[in-house]
Amino acid sequence: MRFLVTGAAGYIGSHAAMRLLDEGHEVAVVDDLSRGHRGAIAALAATGGARLSFHQGCVTDEAFLRRALASSRAEAILHFAALAYVGESVERPLDYYRTNVCGGIALLRAMRAEGVRRIVFSSTCATYGEPDPGSTGIAETTPQAPVNPYGETKLCMERLLRAECAATEGAPLAAVALRYFNVVGCDARGRLGEDHRPETHLVPIALEVAAGRRSEVRIFGEDWPTSDRTCIRDYVHVEDLVEAHLLALGALEPGRFRAWNVGTGRGHSVREVIDVCRRVTGHAIPAATAPRRAGDPPVLFADARAITRDLGFRPMKPALETAVADLWRWMQAHPRGYA
């Protein structure tokens, strides 16, 4: 098949594009390189050769997207392009609405114009907001009440997709939204990694401490109502997340919007994550306590039974140690990331 992947120079988008190339598909990748890495595109090209085409441009540019769709003759879209820092979204909401919502509208308009009617959308558990403190896992039936502009923009896109699926003009859209929890790890073959600028994710930050690039990792609050007094989160390996996207592609139905959570269904505390990083790397990884961050819920993990029931999704790499080891190998081989 022929696919177009937006945000393919970023962390998850590049891994999805690599998997499609590994399976022999033709892949057109779109990125403006404002947050993504040219090194990721080079890694994709090294694998895909002539089956990969790179289109550098902005996801808000409808004419550019139409050209990319027309030249690639894409049959389906994986849409990852977005701004994705919660704190930054509070500081710069206009940027988030422009990229995440206006960009989504531009993509949907371009898809309609070029006759592409299949899309899997990168959504987030941030659309749920702060769960009930007594929650034993967030299910798809949990009310969506985001508490920051990032979550609001992703929920807005889900609503746009639902409306476009129900539209009465033209061929119906087939759409799936996957609501991620925390994503970890990297390509086990060492072709791709995780390299955010700035880095805000716990596992790569802890590994940067182990690599001598930071002096310590910060624990935001040690007075939470959990077993070890630190926050608990659900971590899914990026390769398992990509597998969920391929399963979702097979579940697309014209005129229907569907959404699934993607996680492991279990949580790890901040202290547990840091201890795993210590064991994998053999480094002490000093940790310092910092004040709680506003809006951080104490426990956040997926009730992922629906995607298992409906699509047969089961994480093949559920152990956090596996994801940490994959990323640690890549970081050791690439001490400056993609730079």
61 and 82 belong to one structural domain: yes
DSSP state of 102: I
pLDDT tens, position by position, for the chain (339 residues)? 999 999 999 999 999 999 999 999 999 999 999 999 999 999 999 999 999 999 999 999 999 999 999 999 999 999 999 999 988 999 999 999 999 999 999 999 999 999 999 999 999 999 998 877 666 689 999 999 999 999 999 999 999 999 999 998 889 999 999 999 999 999 999 999 999 988 999 999 999 999 999 999 999 999 999 999 999 999 999 999 999 999 999 999 999 999 999 999 989 999 999 999 999 999 999 999 999 987 677 888 899 999 999 999 999 999 999 999 999 999 999 999 998
For residue 195, being part of any structural domain is answered with: no
- Predicted local confidence at residue 168, as pLDDT: 85
Nearest-angstrom CA–CA distance, 142 and 303: 10
275 and 297 belong to one structural domain: yes
For residue 77, being part of any structural domain is answered with: yes
For residue 192, being part of any structural domain is answered with: no
Q: Alpha-carbon torsion 195, 138, 310, 178, what sign?
A: negative
**Domain count for the chain:** 2
Nearest-angstrom CA–CA distance, 187 and 34: 22
For residue 193, being part of any structural domain is answered with: no
The per-residue b/e assignment along 40-66, b for 16 or more CB within 10 angstroms, e otherwise, is bbebbbebbeebbbbbeebbbbbebbb
For residue 189, being part of any structural domain is answered with: no
Give the residue numbers spanning the domain of 272: 202-233+266-333
23 and 39 belong to one structural domain: yes
245 and 293 belong to one structural domain: no
Q: Which amino acid makes up residue 304?
A: A
For residue 338, being part of any structural domain is answered with: no
63 and 118 belong to one structural domain: yes
- Predicted local confidence at residue 277, as pLDDT: 98
Residue in the block written with tokens 């896992």: 137
160 and 287 belong to one structural domain: no
Sequence-separated (6 or more) residues with CB below 8 Å from residue 309: none
140 and 286 belong to one structural domain: no
CATH number at residue 27: 3.40.50.720
User: What's the whole-model pTM score?
Assistant: 0.96
Alpha-carbon dihedral of residues 41, 193, 243, 52, nearest 10 degrees? 10
153 and 224 belong to one structural domain: no
180 and 276 belong to one structural domain: no
134 and 213 belong to one structural domain: no
CATH number at residue 329: 3.90.25.10
212 and 106 belong to one structural domain: no
- Predicted local confidence at residue 13, as pLDDT: 98
Alpha-carbon dihedral of residues 109, 113, 118, 124, nearest 10 degrees? -10
For residue 190, being part of any structural domain is answered with: no
For residue 218, being part of any structural domain is answered with: yes
Catalytic residues: 150
7 and 154 belong to one structural domain: yes
Burial grade of 98 (CB within 10 A; 0-12, 13-18, 19 or more):
middle
- Predicted local confidence at residue 136, as pLDDT: 67
